[in-house]
Amino acid sequence: MIDLRAYREEIKKNNIKNCYIFYGSDEDMIKENISLIKNKLIKDKLINEDFIDLNFAKFDGNTLENFDEVINACETLPFMSSKKIVLIYRANFLGKNKKSEGVYSAFKKYLENIPENTVLVLYYIFKEKRERVENKVLKLNKKCDIIEIKDLKGRDLEKKVKDLFEEKGKKIALVELKLFCSNLPNNMGIIEKEVEKLCCYTLERDITKQDIYDMFPAKQEDDIFVLVDKMGDKRVKEAIDRFNELLHIGESIFNILYMIERQFNLIYQVSRYVKEGKTIEEISRIIRLPNFICTKLVGQSKKFTETQIKNAMERCLETEKVLKSTSTNKKVEMEMLIIQTIAM
């Protein structure tokens, strides 16, 4: 594997390989980095920009049943250009997908035969934050470049966001920049939309901290507390509305499920410690969370019986298995989880 900086340096040096595999949870960031290849080939006149559509073939990895059509695209000569790009987006056969082993095997075999005038690019979106690159793909490291697109953090994130503001002719001071970056989910698609909203909101004047407070959606943890609160209060419609709001701001189904599961796990731990007579301060030290969060968890624990909490955790695990093993409607499964937890 190579890191993102090394990949970008290689592109700048015109060292473009025949095959790339991108992994990550942020599809917008992956697409942005894939575009570096296309832009470089166009800039160096290896792809004629007037015929880019004829030299950029795309395949949906979700519906790819065999690799023959990809091979045909790779073997077709570039049109009025020296190079062409073949992209397989959302290539699920790179993940834990036994049904697509045949496609993966054909891809692995073809790696030895990719024409010099073709750049084959694949990307796979992590379905949950805990997911990692599969070992079967890591073993291809000598045959292609594998790049994991990790969430931008710290100075890297701040620099990227600052560049987004500057592209729109807007300056943002360091304090406001740090506040902006610390309050949004680490998803470049959402961040770009929030940059646009903030620029439209402030128009010609300088951005202030109050502007950011006014424009920001609720933080992730607050949303989960509210969602679980609604579940504890038996408010089905409000709980599902909150779930849909999380989807709307870009949270993945799997991440929402993980956060609900984590929340009930914390509620269970806290309720047991309260029964043992431990104080908020003691619980805070044990579970390594701030006092105010522990206080909220104690409040939530009073809305559920121990049996309800255990059943909720079991239902979360069952839902996770269903979402991973079938092609079911994931949104409906999550709504059923919320309804059944409330009905317990």
Based on the domain organization, do 243 and 321 belong to the same domain? yes
* Residue 305 and residue 336 in one domain: yes
Domain boundary among 125, 149, 173: 149
Are 179 and 151 in contact by the 8 Å Cβ rule? The answer is no
Please tell me whether residues 126 and 180 are part of one structural domain: no
Domain shared by 211 and 224, yes or no: no
Count structural domains, the chain: 3
3-state secondary structure of 145: strand
CATH code, 177: 1.10.8
Q: Do 161 and 70 sit in the same domain of this protein?
A: no
24 backbone φψ class: left, alpha, beta (φ>0; ψ -120 to 50): left
Longest C-alpha distance within the chain, in Å? 77
162, 133: one domain:
no
**Whether the Cβ atoms of residue 267 and residue 309 lie closer than 8 Å to each other:** yes
HSE, side-chain direction, 13 A CA sphere, residue 16: 24
Tokens representing 7 are 């990949």
Residue type, 209: K
Residue 161 sits in the same domain as residue 242: no
CA atoms within 13 A on the CB side of 205: 7
- Cβ pair 34, 87 in contact under 8 A: yes
Q: State the pTM of this model.
A: 0.57
- Cβ atoms of 93 and 83 within 8 Å: the answer is no
Domain shared by 176 and 229, yes or no: no
Please identify, among 149, 164, 185, the residue that sits at the C-terminal boundary of a domain: 149
* Domain region containing 69: 4-149
User: Mind listing the pLDDT tens digit of every residue in the chain (344 residues)?
Assistant: 888 889 999 999 999 999 999 998 888 889 999 999 999 999 999 999 999 999 999 999 988 988 999 999 999 999 999 999 999 999 989 988 777 889 999 999 999 999 999 999 999 988 776 778 888 989 998 899 999 888 777 888 899 899 999 999 999 999 899 888 876 766 777 788 889 888 988 888 899 988 887 776 545 556 777 888 788 778 888 889 888 888 876 677 887 888 888 888 999 999 999 999 999 999 988 988 778 788 888 988 888 899 999 999 999 999 988 887 767 888 899 999 999 888 76
CATH no. for residue 228?
A: 1.20.272.10
Q: Are 117 and 93 spatial neighbours (Cβ–Cβ below 8 Å)?
A: no
Q: Are residues 211 and 336 in the same domain?
A: no
Q: What is the pLDDT of residue 293?
A: 81
So what's the pLDDT on residue 219? 54
Helix H or strand E segment including 181? helix 174-182
Length of the chain: 344
Residues 126 and 204 in one domain: no
User: What is the model's pLDDT at position 218?
Assistant: 47
125 and 14 share one domain: yes
Last residue in a domain, options 198, 215, 232: 215
User: Are 308 and 278 in a shared domain?
Assistant: yes
